[in-house]
Structure 1
Amino acid sequence: MKLLIVTCLRDFKDAVANIFHEAGVRVFSMSDTTGVKDEHDQNLLDDWFGNRDGEFDSLILFSFTNADTSAKALSLIKEYNAANGDAFPIRAFIVPVEATSYES
């Protein structure tokens, strides 16, 4: 069993849902989160109108799934990022699950 973890901007929710569907991830959880990117600019004139340090409405999605399904999702996310070249790529991680409280 694997834990597939995905983080993305809220704007990419539908893209991740489509990737999950294509990969065979049928059950997942989703939670709102705030992503923070702390990039203080050394030139104060460049930061003249700045407000909060790079806070972004983000999501974290996760699913307990098998190795093949999680690998397929990771591959599709890499393809999506390569095709879209966004400054805020979808991030994905696969974590092994060593033990569980239930039998599947």
Structure 2
Amino acid sequence: MKLLVITAVKSYEKQAVKLFKKAGILAFSNTDINGFKTLDQEDLIDNWFSSSTENVKSVLFFTFTEEHKIDLLLKELEVLNMTVESGNPLRAIVLHIEKYQ
């Protein structure tokens, strides 16, 4: 069992959902989030609410699933990211789950 987390800008939300379906992952959760990107070298903590940050409407998905389904999704994600025209490709991380009930 692994934890898969994907972030995407809001405009790619439907494409992200399609990735889950193609991989056979039919149960997942999502939430709207705000992404921030600093335009300078300042520490983000020092600049957390500054007007010099770019606020990007984003979405975060997560699911607990089997490794073979994650591998399939990551391959499809790589293909999708080749077509992303913005500077905001979809990002994924996979974490091993040691214990669960």
What's the TM-score bracket when you normalise by the shorter of the two chains?
A: 0.7 to 0.9
Structure 1 residue ranges, 4+ long, deviating more than 6 angstroms after superposition: none
What is the aligned partner in structure 1 of residue 72 from structure 2?
A: 72
Query: Which structure's CA Rg is the greater one?
Result: 1
For 1:60, give the aligned amino acid. L
SS in 1 for 2:53: coil
What is the aligned partner in structure 2 of residue 47 from structure 1?
A: none
| TM-score (norm: length of structure 2) | 0.84
SS in 2 for 1:30: strand
For 1:25, give the aligned amino acid. I
Q: Tell me the distance in 2 between the aligned counterparts of 1:95 and 1:11.
A: 26
For 2:13, give the aligned amino acid. K
What is the aligned partner in structure 2 of residue 46 from structure 1?
A: none
- Aligned-pair identity in percent equals 25
- Quick check: which one's strand share is greater? 2
What is the aligned partner in structure 2 of residue 89 from structure 1?
A: 89
SS in 2 for 1:54: strand
1:36 aligns with 2:36: yes
Gaps of 5+ in 2: 42-50
Q: Tell me the distance in 1 between the aligned counterparts of 2:39 and 2:84.
A: 23
Range moving further from structure 2, 51-60 or 20-29:
51-60
For 2:82, give the aligned amino acid. A
Q: Tell me the distance in 2 between the aligned counterparts of 1:86 and 1:96.
A: 30
Shift of 1:86: 3.1
RMSD: 1.5
